[in-house]
Amino acid sequence: MDGVTIIDVSPRDGLQNEPKPVTVEQKLQLVNKLTDAGIRKVEVTSFVHPLKVPQMADANELLKALSDKEGLEAIALIPNLKGFERAKEHRLSEVNWVSAATETFNEKNIGMTIEENMSQFLTVLEEAKKEGVKTCFSVAVSFGCPYEGDVDEENVLQIVRRIKEAGVDRIGIADTIGIATPDHVERLMKEVLAIAGDTPVAIHLHDTRGLGLANAYSAYKAGVRIFETSASGIGGCPFAPGAAGNLATEDLVYMFERMNISTGVDFRNLLSAADYAASLSTKKPLGRIRHVEKQKEKGNE
């Protein structure tokens, strides 16, 4: 069976909503533990305004410290053109731009309409191509919105068509509030992949209602081979009321490896990274397999 690529987002999405400050040194240690486990692609930070997300105020310092990190393909989220201007000063493999599939979430999350967001992204895309920086365009609340409820699939597909035509390097589809079901995931992702063609497509899953793994498998069946997850399942969107953490990286790796689907990840080292990620969070992480493994270890003592 085809292998998969894991993008761990715990340093960014996992920590962005933490009220307790996490130091640059702690973030560096988390990134190091993830790369030690064989995860090469890590979304390490975001260039959002520090007043909106104080936890990401150290983006410049963190990226400078990671500038010579071997084996790391660093990704940073950018919310606008100013964010890109800051991001391009650093060694990044990719910048991740986010828009929402609904107007209300877009206004509350980014402060722009969908059309304003798209217009600004097209400017960033042009600049990024000149700079030789790859771009990902992620569509938030693709399966459901905390403000508008059900999301018309055509809203998502229309955005995908436009960014595909514009020449984006990767497309991300996000279940921001963890509302998706396996049938919905398989149906929508098949349609997204058909439009995307040879443009890589990733899915970003939250595990709010405990369906993260089932949704990941449905995405795999649909043809998705890139998954965005967070070590130990920490995280959540500060602009999505009630949104719990991400799908845990170690849970996804465990499932795929048991199914003989290669992830390229060292599971034991990943558990160490997940333990460390959990220690940085003030919330109870959603990851499950970490606790199972700890019980096994106790039983063998």
Query: Which sequence positions are flagged as catalytic?
Result: 237
Check if the beta carbon of residue 8 is closer than 8 Å to that of residue 229.
yes
Structure token digits, residue 50 = 């520090």
Q: Residue 58: left (phi > 0), alpha (psi -120 to 50), or beta?
A: alpha
Spatial distance between the Cα atoms of 105 and 11, rounded to a whole number of angstroms: 23
Instruction: Please give the structure tokens belonging to residue 238.
Output: 């500060």
Burial of 265 (0-12, 13-18, 19+ CB in 10 A): buried
210, 287 Cβ separation under 8 angstroms: no
Q: Decide if 149 contacts 179 (C-beta within 8 A).
A: no
How many angstroms separate the CA atoms of 75 and 70, rounded?
A: 14
CA-wise closest residue to 93 among 200, 219, 236: 200
Q: Are 58 and 96 in contact (CB under 8 A)?
A: no
Q: What is the DSSP letter of 247?
A: P
